[in-house]
Structures are given as C-alpha cells and as structure tokens.
Amino acid sequence: MNSLVRAYRWLNILSLDIVAGAIICAIFFARVFNVIILPYGLVSLGLTVWVIYTADHLLDASKLRTAASTSRHRFHQQHFGTLLVAALLAAVVDGLQLFYIRRSVFVGGIVLASIVVVYFFVQRRLTFLKESFGAILYAGGVLLIPVSLKETDLSFVHGVVALQFFLIALTNLLLFSLFDYAPDQRDNHNSLARAFGERKTRVVIRALFVINVFLAIFQFVSYPKLVFPEIIFVGMNAVLVIIFVNKHYFEREDRYRLVGDAIFLIPLFYILT
C-alpha cells in the first residue's frame, strides 16, 4: 500500500494524475453530450494539460532563490532543465497533433490557447484571479473537444453541467490555495488566499459548496436522465467537503493535493458502466 502511495505521489508531482483526470473527464463529457472523441484529440488534450501545468510549476520554481517549501516546487527546481526540455518536446509533439484533429476542435483550441497566453501575462498582476484562470483553463480544456464536436448548440441542461464542472475545478484550486497559504507566503507565490486572506477564502469555498448543492438538486429534479452524472459530481464535491472540514489531517504530507487531484478520476465510474 505504501509503495502505491509513493508511486502516486510521483505521478502527482509530475502532474500526470491531472493529465489522466483531464482525459477521463473529457471522455465523461463525450458520453454525456453523446459525441465521439478520436484518440488524436485525447493525446492532444493530455499533452496540452501537462505542458501548461509543467510550465506553470517551472515558472514558479524559476522565481525562487532558495529551496522551495513544497516538494512539488523543489522537484521542479532540482530538475528544471530536464523538465523544460521535456515540456518543449511535448509542445512540439502537441503541435504536430494539430494536423490530425478536426477543424472545429482546432478553432476551439486557438481560443483556449489565447486564454493561456493572457493567463501567463496577467498572473503576476491579477494575483486574485490565478485560481479562476486555472479553473477556466482546466474546465475549458476538458470541455473543448466534447463541446466542439456537438452538432447542435449547447443546451441549457448541458450548460449547467459544464458550469458545475467549472465550479468543482474552481473549488479544488481555492482549497489548494487555502492549504498552501503558509508555503506560498514563504515562497512569495500568488494565490487568492494570499490576496484575500484565509477567512474570506473559506467563505468563498463554502459559498461554492452551497451553489453546487443547489445546482445538483435542480438537475436531479429537472433532468432525471442525468442522475448518474450528477451523482458523480456530488461525489466529487463530497470529497472536497471532507478535505475542507478535516484540514489538520489532510494538510499532513500533502494529502489534500493527492486526494483533491484524484477527484477528477471519479468520472471513470460513469465511463465504465
């Protein structure tokens, strides 16, 4: 069991679990929206997510003049050159994938890429928007292919489903910023928790939990066909609530990050049914 946890920690440090979660969630939404994603699209999504997350961690690590406070950033400090080369190679391969993906997905990808560029330019000045941009990029990347492949416009019910996923991603990142408050202060990393303070961040997280509950109830009552996907969302939120109310347990050994990132693997239960 301990060896499995150690292996998962390495996957988490390298953001590979996040890549797996993004691919699983994209397939999940493809089923919900009744579209088919080709393997090229999934490979491109995985590479894009990994490059963005790795670039973000490398950027944070490059700002530090002393050893990082977190194991993730220390790893990116110690292996900066290797990870930079790997990220560049992944970006090149991802670029080659553009010749194989469908036009509608390509157009959507250009829009998302523009948001990525804006994010890296404004993140130093608009520190309180870091988590919001992160949630937009993650949710947008996951939803990009399923939405682009829909032959009809996104319906209201599917729009609510997309909103729920974005709110889950945002809650996840805000929860991380709350747990990372002390190390972020030491390393001078930006976050909403640092910009607004821990108390206000907790208020925002609680509000997001409440909103998610009301949206789930609305979907349960109004659209019974989406009961199973909604159960998946409820499960993802429930895990985040457990982390939130058990801060002292989950802050040890970065358990909050391991479990928090793992929630995006939960939609696999829906895919396998």
Tens digits of per-residue pLDDT, 212-266?
A: 999 999 999 888 888 999 999 999 999 999 999 998 899 888 889 999 999 999 9
Residue 167 has pLDDT above 90, yes or no: yes
Nearest-Å Rg of the Cα atoms of the chain is 18
User: What percentage of the chain exceeds 70 in pLDDT?
Assistant: 90
pLDDT of residue 204: 93
The pLDDT of residue 99 is above 80: no
Which pLDDT score is estimated for 254?
83
- Per-residue pLDDT tens for 37-68? 888 888 888 888 898 889 888 887 887 777 77
Mean pLDDT (the chain, rounded): 86
Burial class (CB in 10 A: 0-12, 13-18, 19+), 43: middle
Which domains are assigned to the chain? 2-271 (1.10.600)
pLDDT band for position 203 (cuts 50, 70, 90): very high
- The per-residue pLDDT for range 111-151, each reduced to its tens digit, is 666 776 776 676 666 666 778 888 888 898 899 888 888 87
pLDDT of 184 strictly over 90: no
Angle, CA 9 vertex, CA 56 and CA 129 arms, to 5°: 30
Model confidence at 24, in pLDDT bands (50, 70, 90)?
very high
The band of 108, judged by pLDDT with boundaries at 50, 70 and 90, is low
What pLDDT score was predicted for residue 180? 84
Contact between 233 and 165 under an 8 Å Cβ cutoff? The reply is yes
pLDDT for 62:
82
Query: Which pLDDT belongs to residue 1?
Result: 59
In the predicted model, is pLDDT for residue 185 greater than 90? Answer: no
Q: Is the pLDDT of residue 23 over 70?
A: yes
First to last CA, the chain: 27
Q: What's the whole-number mean pLDDT along residues 185-197?
A: 76
- Could you give the percent of the chain with pLDDT greater than 90? 41
- With b for 16 or more beta-carbon neighbours within 10 A and e for fewer, the 96-135 pattern comes to ebeeebeeebeebbeebeeebeebeeebeeebebbbbbbb
Residue 128 confidence (pLDDT): 60
What's residue 125's pLDDT?
A: 62
The burial of 18, by beta-carbon neighbours within 10 Å (0-12 exposed, 13-18 middle, 19 or more buried), is given as buried
